[in-house]
Amino acid sequence: MKAESSGLIIGISIGVVIGVLLAIGGFFCFLYHRKRSQIGNSSSRRAATIPIRQNGIDSCTALSDSSVGTESPKTSINNGISFWLGGLKKANIISASGILEYSYKDLQKATVNFTTLIGQGAFGPVYKAQMLTGETVAVKVLATDSKQGEKEFHAEVMLFGRLHHRNLVNLVGYCAEKGQRMLIYVYMSRGCLASHLYSEELEPLSWELRVQIALDVARGLEYLHDGAVPPVIHRDIKSSNILLDESMRARVADFGLSREEMVSKHVSNIRGTFGYLDPEYISTRAFTKKSDVYSYGVLLFELVAGRNPLQGLMEYVELAAMNTEGNVGWEEIVDSRLDGKYDLQELNDVATLGFKCVNRAPKKRPSMRDIVQVLSRVIKLRNQRKHHKKSLSATADEVTINIDQSTHRSPMSGHRRMESVESTADSCEV
């Protein structure tokens, strides 16, 4: 009897505990879903204002490969749970454009009172910021007295909070407090491509890395041209706008000039950077995707030749083109810092592609999608060659071991085997 009643008490207690736990869980789920539906509502309001997709993936047209991916900040809208936790902490709040709004105080702390300067751009200084969450970000402080800066700011927040791609320097937040306007970006620890190409203090980039960087940039641009709705034209592709992450993967930064286009259709002044500008744009004042392709072509030649476009790179290329027989002979412009360590076929393929990009006639230039395909093929062929070489040398090693073993057994049969090894080795030459 006593045992029965104590069993009953234990059963009831367990039931009560489970019931309480379920109620707490249900309450948290309710809070979480309510928060998400609020976000959804504000997002749809925004969509009516500016018809750009929420993130780079939902409404994305199929791009040339599976490289498209979202990369969100730690507490981004895509990550509901961490967002909700962030909301509880009341540290950062989600802005109307769907990205984080940082408080001035937090940024002031994270940049040690704005002393961690990492660069200076046309719109103001850039600081490295170590957030309390452990995240490192780059804070671009816009010059507050600039009218253009204000316009840029609002357009950039609206536009770029919705664009996400692994080859873009994604905007993760902003701050609009105390008359200050700041943009917060993913931090790119290896700095800009230009410094790696031209600084004597940094190791020269290997040929393989240069081709990989060219492909990364092409993928970022392909996304802007063919993945974003409506398409985005960058308008200022140059080596100082290509930033590198810890593992030397490249991302396209600074959409300053495309912002202008989104806000006002009538852009009267010539914008962009001398040396990279499409001659067709200079004469017609119409900037198209093919103008980005032209600038990208200049960037390809920068990677090949290690020369700055402001120091006559394209004149140098034009001269070389007179001597090249169509698709070959580009080695005369190759960067001497490569010390001859490059694959000639790849060099000719990349330079030939670059030359097509800088064709005077925009229609004859390839699209960014075509470019991604060509460069992907260059890297694929290289990997196949490496794999082929590896498997041939493994076969040769295996045969050598067999010879050693058979030499032990019978010198006669070993001799015959040696002949077969030599013929295998001959066919190994690639």
Taking CB under 6 A as the criterion, the residue among 160, 187, 207, 255 binding ligand ATP is 187
User: Of 134, 132, 133, 114, whose CA–CA distance to 124 is shortest?
Assistant: 114
The residues that bridge with 138 in the sheet, in sequence order, are: 128, 185
Contact between 140 and ligand ATP per CB under 6 A: yes
User: Of 143, 241, 209, 206, whose CA–CA distance to 335 is shortest?
Assistant: 206
Contact 164, 170 (CB under 8 A): yes
Q: In what order do the strands lie in the sheet with 171-177?
A: 93-94, 100-101, 171-177, 180-186, 136-142, 124-130, 117-121
Q: Could you tell me which stretch among 240-248, 276-284, 370-378, 398-406 binds ligand ATP (CB under 6 A)?
A: 240-248
| Residue entry with tokens 């082929």 | 388
Q: Which is nearer to ligand ATP, 119 or 275 (CB)?
A: 119
Q: Which is nearer to ligand ATP, 240 or 324 (CB)?
A: 240
Q: Which is nearer to ligand ATP, 163 or 188 (CB)?
A: 188
Taking CB under 6 A as the criterion, the residue among 84, 174, 185, 342 binding ligand ATP is 185
Taking CB under 6 A as the criterion, the residue among 80, 87, 191, 329 binding ligand ATP is 191
Supply angle C-alpha 260, 265, 266, rounded to 5. Answer: 95
Q: Binding mask 247-276 vs ligand ATP (x if CB under 6 A, - otherwise)?
A: ------xx----------------------
Contact 42, 93 (CB under 8 A): no
- The CA distance from 382 to 332, in Å, is 22
Single-letter code of the amino acid located at 330:
W
Contact between 172 and ligand ATP per CB under 6 A: no
User: Which pairing describes strands 93-94 and 171-177: parallel, antiparallel, or unpaired?
Assistant: unpaired
- Residues that are catalytic: 236
CA 112 to mean position of chain CA atoms? 28
Interhelix angle for 344-357 vs 313-323, to 10°? 110
Taking CB under 6 A as the criterion, the residue among 241, 258, 291, 324 binding ligand ATP is 241
Torsion sign, CA atoms 80, 161, 181, 109: positive
Q: Could you tell me which stretch among 37-45, 181-189, 197-205, 351-359 binds ligand ATP (CB under 6 A)?
A: 181-189
Q: How far is the CB of 130 from ligand ATP (least distance, A)?
A: 13
Taking CB under 6 A as the criterion, the residue among 68, 142, 192, 224 binding ligand ATP is 192
Q: Which is nearer to ligand ATP, 118 or 399 (CB)?
A: 118
Q: Which is nearer to ligand ATP, 73 or 366 (CB)?
A: 73
Taking CB under 6 A as the criterion, the residue among 119, 149, 231, 329 binding ligand ATP is 119
Q: Could you tell me which stretch among 117-125, 305-313, 364-372, 413-421 binds ligand ATP (CB under 6 A)?
A: 117-125
Q: Which is nearer to ligand ATP, 46 or 219 (CB)?
A: 219
Token pair of 293 as six digits: 């392709």
Q: How far is the CB of 34 from ligand ATP (least distance, A)?
A: 34
Binding positions for ligand ATP, rule: CB under 6 A? 118-123, 126, 138, 140, 169, 185-188, 191-192, 240-241, 243, 253-254
